[in-house]
Structure 1
Amino acid sequence: MINTMTFLLCGFSVISALVLIFTHLDTNTNHYQGKWLSKAAGVVLLLGLASMQLIHYDFLANQGNMVNSRFYVFLLFIVSPAFYFFIRDVLRVENSYQPIQLLHLLPALISLLIPSSTAQLFAFVFGTGYVLWLAYSIYSLRAQRSRFKLELLALFAIGLLAILVLIIGVLMPLISDYVFYTSYACLLGLSFVVIIFTLLRFPDITQEVAEAAEAAYATSTLNNLDSEALVLKLRQLLEVEKLYVEDGLSLASLAEKMGISNHQLSELINTRFKKSFSQLLREYRITEAKRLLIDEPNASVLSIGLSTGFTSQSNFYTAFKEITGMAPGNYRKTQKKHH
Structure 2
Amino acid sequence: MTSLAILLAGFSIFSAMSLALSHFSGDLYQDQPMSRWMGLILLMALSSLQVAHFAWLHLDQEWVATLAYRMSLFAVAPSFFLFSQPLLNAKALPSIRPALFSHALPIVISPFLPEGLALPLAFIVGAGYLLWLARSLYALRQERANFHREMMLLGGVFGIAVGVSALGLAQASLPGKLFFSLYSVSIGTAFFLAQTTLGLRPRLSTEIREAVQTAYSNSTLNNVDCDTVLSALDRLMVTDRTYVDPNLSLPGLAERLGLSNHQLSELINARLGKSFSRYLRELRIEAAKIMLCDEPSASVLSVGLSVGFTSQSNFYEAFREIEGMAPGQFRKLRARSGPAQ
**TM-score, normalised on structure 2?**
0.83
Match of 1:79 among 60, 67, 76: 76
Deviation at 1:306, TM superposition (A): 6.2
Seen in structure 2, the aligned counterparts of structure 1 residues 36 and 171 have a Cα distance that, compared at 3 Å, is same
Deviation at 1:124, TM superposition (A): 0.4
Q: Choose 209-218 or 151-160, whichever is displaced more.
A: 209-218
- Correspondences of 1:313-324 after superposition (within 5 Å): 313=316, 315-320=318-323
Deviation string for 1:265-321 (max 9, x for gaps)?
A: 321312343322233123312432343245335557786466543725464144135
Deviation at 1:110, TM superposition (A): 2.5
CA distance in 2: counterparts of 1:253 and 1:172, whole angstroms? 55
Aligned residues: 332
Q: Which residue of 2 aligns with 1:134?
A: 133
Counterpart of 2:269, as a letter, is: N
- Correspondences of 1:19-98 after superposition (within 5 Å): 19-26=18-25, 28-30=26-28, 32-94=29-91, 95-97=93-95
CA distance in 2: counterparts of 1:302 and 1:115, whole angstroms? 59
Deviation string for 1:107-153 (max 9, x for gaps)?
A: 22222221122111111011011222333333333322222211221
Question: Counterpart of 1:5 in 2: which secondary structure?
Answer: helix
Seen in structure 2, the aligned counterparts of structure 1 residues 167 and 303 have a Cα distance that, compared at 3 Å, is farther
Question: Counterpart of 2:10 in 1: which secondary structure?
Answer: helix
Question: Counterpart of 1:279 in 2: which secondary structure?
Answer: helix
RMSD, matched Cα: 3.2
Q: Which residue of 2 aligns with 1:7?
A: 6
- Correspondences of 1:230-249 after superposition (within 5 Å): 231=230, 234-245=233-244
Counterpart of 1:193, as a letter, is: F
Q: Choose 177-186 or 257-266, whichever is displaced more.
A: 257-266
Deviation at 1:255, TM superposition (A): 5.3
CA distance in 2: counterparts of 1:33 and 1:337, whole angstroms? 35
CA distance in 2: counterparts of 1:300 and 1:232, whole angstroms? 33
CA distance in 1: counterparts of 2:260 and 2:23, whole angstroms? 24
Deviation string for 1:231-288 (max 9, x for gaps)?
A: 4664454235534346676546655776866434321312343322233123312432
Q: Which residue of 2 aligns with 1:158?
A: 157
Deviation at 1:224, TM superposition (A): 6.9
Counterpart of 1:73, as a letter, is: R
**TM-score, normalised on structure 1?**
0.83
Deviation at 1:221, TM superposition (A): 3.7
| 5+ residue gaps, structure 1 | none
Seen in structure 2, the aligned counterparts of structure 1 residues 24 and 336 have a Cα distance that, compared at 3 Å, is closer
Verify the 8 A CA contact 2:265 2:276 in the aligned structure 1.
yes
Counterpart of 2:323, as a letter, is: F
- Correspondences of 1:286-297 after superposition (within 5 Å): 286-297=285-296
Deviation at 1:101, TM superposition (A): 5.4
Seen in structure 2, the aligned counterparts of structure 1 residues 250 and 195 have a Cα distance that, compared at 3 Å, is farther
Q: Which residue of 1 aligns with 2:183?
A: 184
Deviation at 1:4, TM superposition (A): 3.8
Counterpart of 1:159, as a letter, is: F
CA distance in 2: counterparts of 1:110 and 1:295, whole angstroms? 64
